[in-house]
Amino acid sequence: RVTADTDHYLVTQRVARVELIPGTTTEIWGYDGVFPGPTFRGRRGRRMVVTVRNELPVPTSTHLHGGVTPAGSDGFPTDLILPAGYSPAPPGHHGASGRHHDTTRDYTYPMTQRAATLWYHDHRMDFTGPQVWRGLAGLFLITDEVEAALPLPRGDRDLPLMICDRSFAADGSLKYPQRDMTHPGADGLFHAGIFGDVILVNGAPWPRAEVPAVRHRLRLVNGSNARRYRLSLSAGTITQIGSDAGLLSAPLPREDVLLAPGERSDVIADFTGLPAGTEVTMTNTLGEGPTADVMRFVITGPAADDSRIPATLATPETLDRTRAVAERRFDFRFGGGRWTINNQPYDPAATICSVREGTVELWRFTSDFHHPVHVHMAHFQVLSRGVNGPEPGDAGWKDTVDVRPYETVQVLVDFTGHRGRYMLHCHNLEHEDMAMMANFDIV
Ligand code: C2O
Ligand code: CU
Ligand code: CU
Domains of the chain: 6-147 (2.60.40.420), 155-299 (2.60.40.420), 321-442 (2.60.40.420)
Find the ligand nearest to 262 CA: 1
Average pLDDT value for the chain: 93
Question: What is the arithmetic mean of pLDDT over 171-199?
Answer: 73
- 379 Cβ below 6 A of ligand 1: no
CA of 215 to the centre of ligand 2 (A): 30
Beta bridge partners of 257: 231
- The rounded distance, in Å, linking the Cα atoms of 329 and 366 is 8
Q: Is residue 262 within 6 Å of ligand 1 at its C-beta?
A: yes
CA 406 to chain centre: 24
Asked if 265 contacts 240 with a C-beta cutoff of 8 angstroms, the reply is yes
Q: Whose CA is nearest to atom 1 of ligand 1?
A: 65
pLDDT of residue 86: 60
- Rounded CA separation 199/208 (Å): 13
User: Mind listing the pLDDT tens digit for each residue in 274-325?
Assistant: 999 999 999 999 999 999 999 999 999 999 999 999 999 998 789 999 999 9
State pLDDT tens for residues 352-392.
999 999 999 999 999 999 999 999 999 999 999 998 889 98
Ligand 2 mean position, distance from CA 402 (Å): 14
CA of 119, closest atom in ligand 1? 1
Question: Coil, strand, or helix at residue 428?
Answer: coil
Q: Taking the complete model, does pTM exceed 0.90, yes or no?
A: yes
Confidence grade of residue 405 (pLDDT, cut at 50, 70, 90): very high
Task: Find out whether the beta carbon of 166 lies less than 6 Å from any atom of ligand 1.
Answer: no
- The ligand that comes nearest to the alpha carbon of residue 261 is 1
Per-residue pLDDT band for 88 (boundaries 50, 70, 90) equals low
Ligand 2 centroid – CA 25 distance (Å): 30
Cα 169 to ligand 3 centroid, rounded to whole Å? 27
Q: 135 CB contacts (<8 Å, ≥6 apart)?
A: 28, 29, 30, 31, 35, 36, 37, 174
Distance in angstroms (rounded) separating the CA atoms of residues 162 and 266? 12
- Which stretch of DSSP H or E encloses residue 381? strand 379-385
Task: Please choose, from the candidates 233, 224, 298, the residue with its C-alpha nearest in 3D space to the C-alpha of residue 264.
Answer: 224
Give tens-digit pLDDT for 23-45.
999 999 999 999 999 999 999 99
Q: How far does residue 359's CA lie from ligand 1's centre (Å)?
A: 22
Distance from C-alpha of 11 to C-alpha of 136, rounded to nearest angstrom: 12
Q: Does the beta carbon of 124 sit less than 6 angstroms from any atom of ligand 1?
A: no
Give the number of whichever ligand sits closest to the CA of residue 66: 2
Q: How many CB atoms lie within 10 A of CB 241?
A: 23
Evaluate whether ipTM surpasses 0.90: yes
Amino acid residing at 312: T
Atom in ligand 1 nearest the alpha carbon of residue 376: 2
> 415 alpha carbon to ligand 2 midpoint, in Å?
14
Is the minimum distance from the CB of 105 to ligand 1 under 6 angstroms? no
